[in-house]
Amino acid sequence: MSEEKFEKRSLTGNINVACKYEDGTVRYWNTTKQEVIRHIVQIINDYQADGYTLTLRQLHYQLVTKNWIVNHTSAYKKLGNILDDCRYGGVIDWDAIEDRGRVPYIPYAVKNVQHSLEDTIEQYRIDRQEGQKVHIEVWSEKDALSGILRRTTSKYHVQLVINKGYTSSSAIYGAYQRFLEKISKEDKKVVILYLGDFDPSGLDMVRDISKRIRFMLHNGDAKDYFYYQDRYIDDWFKIIPIGLTVEQIKKYKLPPNPTKLTDSRAEKYIAKYGRTCWEVDALEPHVLTQIVDSNIAGRIDIPLFKKVINRENRDIKELKGILSGVIKSKKKKK
């Protein structure tokens, strides 16, 4: 954690932001900068205590949910400016907010053999899904959620796929190849647990992914497998939306957004759901974690999973013994 201060920033004054919506209505965000900063610090401290690092958008939605800010792009931009003032002024930890889209790539390196063994022990994992009858992947359209979702997908050792909107043909083909391997060679059923916005495009992404993967399974190298084995694709591949759902929106009282009328799918969406939509980012991190955890745990053999964890722990104990021997050997040489 670092509350490094770079310069003196103004942390006082009044905030008056006019938020104009497409339907012509205007809402005003009137408060003081001190009040906003107090709420920011409170939210960040709460989530840091639980080991979560928020994005600016997630912070925005936590404020919206508590009615401390107006849900509008103008208020969102103002919040970003205030957050910058807090960070440059040394009020907020620089490590408290992450930018998932701008992460530098650094090649792996170690100091010595001992350091390498320590890294191996820290990262050692068996395939925790070994022996399971179902292959599970968690997919999301939001890169901003990856840090939160990875906590659970890493725990169960299932693949996390971030699509950043509609996924590419290359990514779909890569998924098709993985799934064909699991189905035809390992005799496993495949389930995608999907998280996305409840809006025209967010809901349509589920249809799009399902249609394209089924198309490849039906027309590619897999078609003979399904034909001669007298098996149905729908029995072996499913995509299950686990969020956002209507039930979650109601249960957690998520803040609404106006539906983008420029979205080509807006007309059908509005006819069915009305002119409001909701973003999956609005779910609190611990809620997202619980949703993903329960959906994975409910579909796998938990006793088998625990057996693999026990074997993994035995292996780590063995590795620690090897490391201890290396350290003793180095001391003797000195």
- Domain membership of residue 52 as a residue range: 14-96
Name the token pair of 152. 């659970």
Cα–Cα separations (whole angstroms), residue 200 to 138, 212, 266, 270: 21, 18, 6, 8
Strands 257-258 and 276-277 turn out to be antiparallel
Amino acid 102: pLDDT:
66
Q: Which residue has the tokens 């995509």?
A: 239
Amino acid 1: pLDDT:
47
Number of domains, the chain: 2
Question: What's at 25, amino acid-wise?
Answer: T
Asked whether residue 118 is domain-assigned, the answer is: no
- Axis-axis angle for helices 266-273, 200-219 (nearest 10): 110
CATH number at residue 153: 3.40.50
Asked whether residue 57 is domain-assigned, the answer is: yes
- Torsions phi, psi of 67, nearest 5? 60, 35
Asked whether residue 257 is domain-assigned, the answer is: yes
142 and 89 within one domain:
no
Asked whether residue 199 is domain-assigned, the answer is: yes
Could you give the CA distance from residue 117 to residue 104 in angstroms, rounded to a whole number? 25
270 and 136 within one domain:
yes
| CB-CB neighbours of 52 under 10 Å | 20
171 and 254 within one domain:
yes
Buried b (16+ CB within 10 A) or exposed e, 294-321: ebbeebbeeeebeebeeebeeebeebee
Residue 189 near residue 172, CB atoms below 8 Å? no
Could you give the CA distance from residue 18 to residue 23 in angstroms, rounded to a whole number? 14
Amino acid 21: pLDDT:
84
293 and 167 within one domain:
yes
Q: Which residues of the chain have pLDDT under 50?
A: 1, 228
Asked whether residue 286 is domain-assigned, the answer is: yes
Q: What is the largest CA-CA distance in the chain?
A: 79
Amino acid 315: pLDDT:
94
Last residue of a domain, one of 40, 71, 96: 96
269 and 166 within one domain:
yes
Residue 304 near residue 236, CB atoms below 8 Å? no
152 and 72 within one domain:
no
Q: Which residue has the tokens 């639980």?
A: 50
Name the token pair of 20. 């104009």
pTM across the whole model: 0.85
Asked whether residue 25 is domain-assigned, the answer is: yes
Asked whether residue 19 is domain-assigned, the answer is: yes
The DSSP bridge partners found for residue 241 are: 194
36 and 137 within one domain:
no
Question: What's at 60, amino acid-wise?
Answer: H
Question: What's at 79, amino acid-wise?
Answer: L
Q: Which candidate, 138, 132, 145, 148, places its Cα nearest to that of 175? A: 138
Residue 129 near residue 136, CB atoms below 8 Å? yes
Spatial neighbors of 182 by CB under 8 A, at least 6 apart, are: 135, 188, 190
148 and 286 within one domain:
yes
